[in-house]
């Protein structure tokens, strides 16, 4: 394996063992690379003009631009123009595809794209490790589009994603890149959408299917998804599918596919189970790793504050007041907390939207579009609902509840600082949760610096600064038409002459109108900052346990079930699957998390018995979610969930 640095922001390592001699990949460092031309191109590469790849000469050895290209990312304005033989033109993608890429505004490939596209054009299996926001969607979408047969009406590419939101995002990216390929059709399939409509569109013919594992399996079992002509399977965010309990489903899909196919696996991290999956199902894959070279180059400023659980809402409103942010995502642990937080912020006058498992899919899409267009500035969401969310204007991510693992934290803060932009991330910790800070710092490779809850003076200064900035911007670029400006000027002159007011007095009166009835400055004492340990012990979101998931042995299971009641904010349910159904905790977690819109770690203790199991879920489950879970199937058997009587 040869290591080289692709840019100041990224380190890239590629496994070039058994790499074909005609590969256009060249090292950026001066180290020589030994290649062994022992791998024959896959039969799928027959539709690729490999001679086009040979045209990518020594220009590939120059330093890769640090521009990160993702499905919705825009290129860095400071990026230099690609050389004539470099950029995307040297990959052999085809004129129509290059034209669509140019219209998207892309000029220079990101490190993951530069490393992965040539390998995929040659038909090789590939394992790619890269964080969110590095442009991995384009890294696999572009070469797969270039190798499609538009005359084949059955799916040639299947992309599996852990969530509905990510499936929509990836499908949108494919459609953007295929804008000049009118015969290419892309279909996202996921739970919550009309199953019959998906069947109709599959019958009409599609070349690319992007879907979640559960819905893809449903179509395969119904015989409505014909994968006999499949050429490539992409596993996007494989580590998240593992965390959500979907790996067994992924393996089932893999085992149903044609023997001759290309498999591409992308993951932000590489746990042992993902490594096992790649060794079992990928044939001599190329390995590409793009990782942060150093914490000093991170574009996301990360801070944390410590506050008692009963004071989190007050602290949140103060942070929003003091932080000047264009768009904000607030991550909460459960659906109930998202509603509580959003209602509190609405009372403070914020434009707030909620994204959780109870929100219908069509409303989710409208909510994301409103956030993208600026109609909504604050989004309160659970992890499951916001997975894969890519909105350029997000400049601040607030972790209102600490995530249960470092991977979730990395994905959360990855919603800001996209494609080299600046971003802020603030983590709320209760005193009992401070011990988890070190693990998160090790995951991101840098210190998460402490901050104080903004004081009255901090908020007042922020309000004055924002008012001054708005006034300055309005003077420089008036929002009204010339005719309206003339009318406003006439009103000022008339009022000034009628009451003999000076221009300064008129300007002050106009500012007071703009400020409204709300006081400009925060007044009063800050007694909320005094610790209230008795209130903090009321488990208002500051407990650090949840996710204590135990699968009891067959012997003695009933005794554990009876002797260990659920925690105060949890409720125990019985489901009609057990050991005899060969169910595993991961199967239960993945199914319930996806349907109920929960983070997998929000699901509490799981106990599996011979004919049934029990699972602890957050209290206050809405009736419609409860009804949906009753019909949910795990291991091809309905859960038939009921409230457990201890």
Cα–Cα distance between 610 and 281 in angstroms, integer?
32
pLDDT of the residue at 599: 66
CB-CB contact of 394 with 416 (8 Å): yes
**CB distance 222 to 173 below 8 Å:** no
Mean pLDDT of 52-56: 36
Q: Write the pLDDT tens digit of every residue in 541-595.
A: 333 333 344 444 443 344 344 457 777 778 888 888 888 888 888 888 888 877 6
CATH number, domain at 616?
A: 3.30.70.330
Please tell me whether residues 94 and 14 are part of one structural domain. yes
Q: In this structure, is residue 564 part of a structural domain?
A: yes
Among 455, 473, 504, the domain boundary falls at 455
Taking alpha carbons only, the member of 225, 204, 203, 205 closest to residue 214 is 225
Q: How many CB atoms lie within 10 A of CB 301?
A: 16
What band does 646 get if pLDDT is binned at 50, 70 and 90?
low
Spatial CA neighbour of 577 closest among 615, 610, 612, 609: 612
- Between CA 530 and CA 296 the distance in angstroms is 35
Does residue 56 register a pLDDT over 60?
Answer: no
Which range has highest mean pLDDT (177-191, 403-417, 482-496)?
177-191
Answering whether pTM is above 0.75, one says: no
Between 282 and 487, the more confident residue is 282
pLDDT band with cut points at 50, 70 and 90 for residue 262: very high
CATH number at 12 reads: 3.40.50.300
Sequence-distant (≥ 6) Cβ neighbours of residue 432 within 8 angstroms:
542, 543, 544
Domain C-terminal end among 238, 259, 292: 292
What DSSP string runs through 29-83? SS--------PPPPGGGGGS-THHHHT--GGGGSPPP-----SS----TTPPPPP
Read off the pLDDT of each residue in 379-385 and give the average, rounded to a whole number: 83
Shortest CA distance to 25 belongs to which of 6, 41, 39? 6
Q: pLDDT, tens digit, for every residue of 296-343? A: 336 789 999 999 888 899 899 999 988 877 889 999 988 889 999 999
- Which is more confidently placed, 431 or 48? 431
Domain interval for residue 253: 2-160+170-178+220-292
The contacts of residue 535 (CB under 8 Å, 6+ apart) are 308, 309, 310
Tell which residue, 219, 223, 217, 251, has the closest CA to residue 235. Answer: 251
Inside any domain, residue 206: no
pLDDT score, position 483: 80
Same domain, 491 and 362: no
Residue 134 carries which DSSP code?
Answer: S
DSSP secondary structure string for all residues of 375-407: S--EEEE-HHHHTT---TT--EEEESS--SSHH
- Domain assignment present for 606: yes
Residue 288 sits in the same domain as residue 310: no
Place of tokens 């003091």: 322
Q: Report how far residue 550's alpha carbon sits from residue 615's, in angstroms, rounded to the nearest whole number.
A: 10
**Does 360 share its domain with 483?**
no
Q: Is residue 99 part of a domain?
A: yes
- What is each CA distance from 449 to 305, 428, 441, 492, in whole angstroms? 9, 12, 10, 49
pLDDT in tens, 587-626: 888 888 776 666 666 788 888 888 888 988 887 777 777 7
Q: What is the largest CA-CA distance in the chain?
A: 93
Lowest mean pLDDT across 68-72, 102-106, 148-152, 469-473? 68-72
Q: How many C-beta atoms lie closer than 10 Å to residue 518's C-beta?
A: 8
What backbone torsions phi and psi does residue 76 show, to the nearest 5 degrees? -65, 125
For residue 64, being part of any structural domain is answered with: yes
> In angstroms, rounded to a whole number, what is the distance separating the alpha carbons of residues 509 and 513?
6
Rg (CA), the chain: 27
Q: Do residues 125 and 285 lie in contact, with contact meaning Cβ atoms separated by under 8 Å?
A: yes
Cα gap 168→151, rounded to integer Å: 24
Give the residue carrying structure tokens 């330093």.
63
117 or 81, higher pLDDT: 117
Q: Could you tell me if 86 and 136 lie in one domain?
A: yes
Separation between Cα atoms, residue 466 and residue 450, nearest integer Å: 24
Boundary of a domain, candidates 404, 423, 455: 455
DSSP symbols for 501-562? --HHHHHHHHHHHHH-SS-SS--S--GGGS--HHHHTT-SS------------STTHHHHHH
Is the Cβ–Cβ distance between 265 and 128 less than 8 Å? yes
Asked whether residue 81 falls in the same domain as residue 22, the answer is yes
Q: What is the mean pLDDT of residues 231-255?
A: 90
The span from the CA of 434 to the CA of 402, in Å, is: 10
The token pair at 4 is 């080289």
Instruction: Assess whether 301 and 446 both reside in one domain.
Output: yes
Q: 43: closest CA among 259, 234, 260?
A: 260
Cβ partners under 8 Å of residue 185, min gap 6: 204, 205, 206, 207, 208
Residues 225 and 286 in one domain: yes
Contact of 327 with 472, CB cutoff 8 Å: no
Cβ-contact 261, 235 below 8 angstroms: no
β-strands 300-306, 423-429: how paired? Answer: parallel
Residue with tokens 């052999």: 92
Angle, to 10 degrees, between the axis of helix 312-322 and the axis of helix 456-476? 30
> 264, 281, 285: which is closest to 159 by C-alpha?
264
- Regarding whether 150 and 53 lie in a shared domain, the answer is yes
- d(Cα 85, Cα 57) in Å, to the nearest integer? 8
The answer to whether position 333 is within a domain reads: yes
Within this chain, do residues 498 and 363 fall inside the same structural domain, yes or no? no
What is the pLDDT, as a whole number, of residue 53? 36
Distance, CA of 229 to chain centre: 30
Provide the 3-class DSSP secondary structure of residue 2: strand
Q: Give pLDDT, residue 133.
A: 63
Considering the domain architecture, whether residues 141 and 247 belong to the same structural domain is answered as: yes
Q: Beta strand pairing status for 449-450 and 606-608?
A: unpaired
* Local structure of residue 359 (DSSP, 8 states): S
pLDDT higher than threshold 50 for residue 99:
yes
d(CA 447, CA 444): 8
* C-alpha 225: how far from chain center: 27
Domain-embedded: residue 548: no
**Closest listed residue to residue 9, CA positions, set 72, 56, 79:** 79
Cβ partners under 8 Å of residue 380, min gap 6: 329, 330, 332, 338, 341, 342, 345, 352, 353, 354, 355, 400
Q: What gap in Å lies between CA 224 and CA 337, rounded to an integer? A: 39
578 found inside a domain = yes
Instruction: Please tell me the predicted confidence (pLDDT) of residue 121.
Output: 93
Same domain? 592 vs 626: yes
Least Cα distance to 633 among 561, 581, 570 occurs for 581
How many domains does the chain fold into? 4
């Amino acid at each position: 394996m040869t290591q080289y640095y692709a840019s100041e922001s990224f380190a890239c390592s590629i496994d070039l063992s058994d790499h074909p001699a005609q590969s256009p990949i060249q090292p950026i460092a001066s180290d020589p690379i030994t290649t062994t031309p022992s791998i024959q191109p896959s039969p799928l590469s027959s539709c690729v003009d490999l001679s086009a790849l040979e045209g990518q000469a020594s220009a590939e050895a120059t330093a890769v631009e640090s521009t990160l290209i993702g499905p919705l990312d825009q290129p860095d304005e400071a990026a230099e123009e690609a050389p004539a033989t470099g950029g995307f033109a040297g990959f052999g993608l085809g004129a129509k595809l290059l034209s669509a890429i140019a219209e998207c505004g892309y000029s220079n490939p990101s490190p993951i794209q530069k490393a992965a596209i040539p390998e995929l054009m040659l038909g090789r299996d590939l394992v790619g490790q890269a964080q969110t926001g590095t442009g991995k969607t384009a890294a696999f979408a572009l070469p797969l589009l270039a190798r499609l047969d538009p005359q084949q009406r059955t799916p040639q590419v299947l992309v599996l994603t852990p969530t509905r939101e990510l499936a929509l995002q990836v499908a949108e990216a494919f459609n953007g890149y295929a804008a000049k390929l009118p015969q290419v059709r892309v279909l996202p399939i996921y739970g919550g959408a009309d199953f019959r409509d998906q069947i109709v569109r599959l019958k009409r013919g599609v070349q690319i299917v992007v879907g979640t594992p559960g819905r893809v399996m449903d179509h395969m079992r119904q015989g409505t998804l014909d994968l006999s002509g499949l050429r490539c399977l992409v596993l996007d965010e494989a580590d998240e599918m593992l965390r959500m309990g979907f790996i067994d489903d992924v393996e089932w899909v893999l085992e149903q596919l044609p023997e001759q196919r290309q498999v591409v696996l992308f993951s932000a991290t590489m746990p042992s189970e993902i490594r096992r999956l790649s060794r079992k199902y990928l044939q001599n894959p190329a390995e590409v790793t793009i990782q942060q070279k150093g914490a000093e180059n991170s574009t996301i400023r990360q801070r944390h504050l410590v506050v008692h659980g009963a004071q989190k809402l007050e602290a949140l409103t103060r942070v929003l007041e003091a932080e000047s942010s264009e768009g904000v995502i607030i991550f909460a642990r459960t659906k109930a907390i998202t509603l509580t937080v959003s209602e509190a912020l609405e009372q403070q006058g914020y434009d707030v939207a909620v994204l959780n498992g109870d929100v219908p899919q069509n409303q989710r899409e409208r909510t994301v579009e409103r956030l993208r267009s600026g109609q909504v500035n604050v989004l309160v969401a659970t992890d499951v609902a916001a997975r894969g969310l890519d909105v350029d204007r997000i400049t601040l991510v607030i972790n209102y509840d600490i995530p249960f693992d470092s991977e979730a934290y990395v994905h959360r803060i990855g919603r800001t600082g996209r494609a080299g932009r600046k971003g802020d991330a603030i983590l709320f910790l209760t005193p009992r949760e401070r011990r988890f800070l070190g693990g998160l710092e090790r995951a991101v490779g840098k210190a998460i610096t402490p901050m104080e809850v903004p004081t009255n003076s901090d908020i007042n200064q922020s309000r004055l600064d924002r008012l001054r900035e708005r006034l300055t911007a309005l003077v420089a670029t008036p929002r009204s038409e010339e005719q309206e400006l003339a009318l406003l000027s006439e009103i000022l002159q008339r009022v000034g002459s009628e009451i003999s007011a000076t221009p300064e007095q008129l300007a002050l009166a106009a500012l007071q109108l703009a400020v409204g009835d709300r006081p400009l400055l925060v007044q009063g004492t800050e007694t909320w900052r005094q610790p209230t340990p008795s209130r903090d012990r009321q488990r208002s979101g500051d407990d650090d346990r949840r996710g204590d998931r135990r699968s009891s042995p067959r012997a003695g299971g009933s005794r554990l079930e009876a002797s260990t009641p659920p925690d105060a904010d949890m409720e125990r349910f019985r489901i009609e699957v057990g050991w005899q159904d060969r169910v595993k905790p991961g199967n239960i977690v993945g199914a319930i998390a996806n349907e109920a819109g929960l983070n997998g770690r929000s699901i509490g203790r799981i106990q599996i018995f011979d004919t049934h199991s029990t699972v602890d879920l957050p209290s206050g489950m809405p009736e419609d979610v409860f009804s949906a879970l009753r019909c949910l199937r795990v291991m091809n058997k309905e859960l038939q969930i009921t409230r457990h009587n201890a």
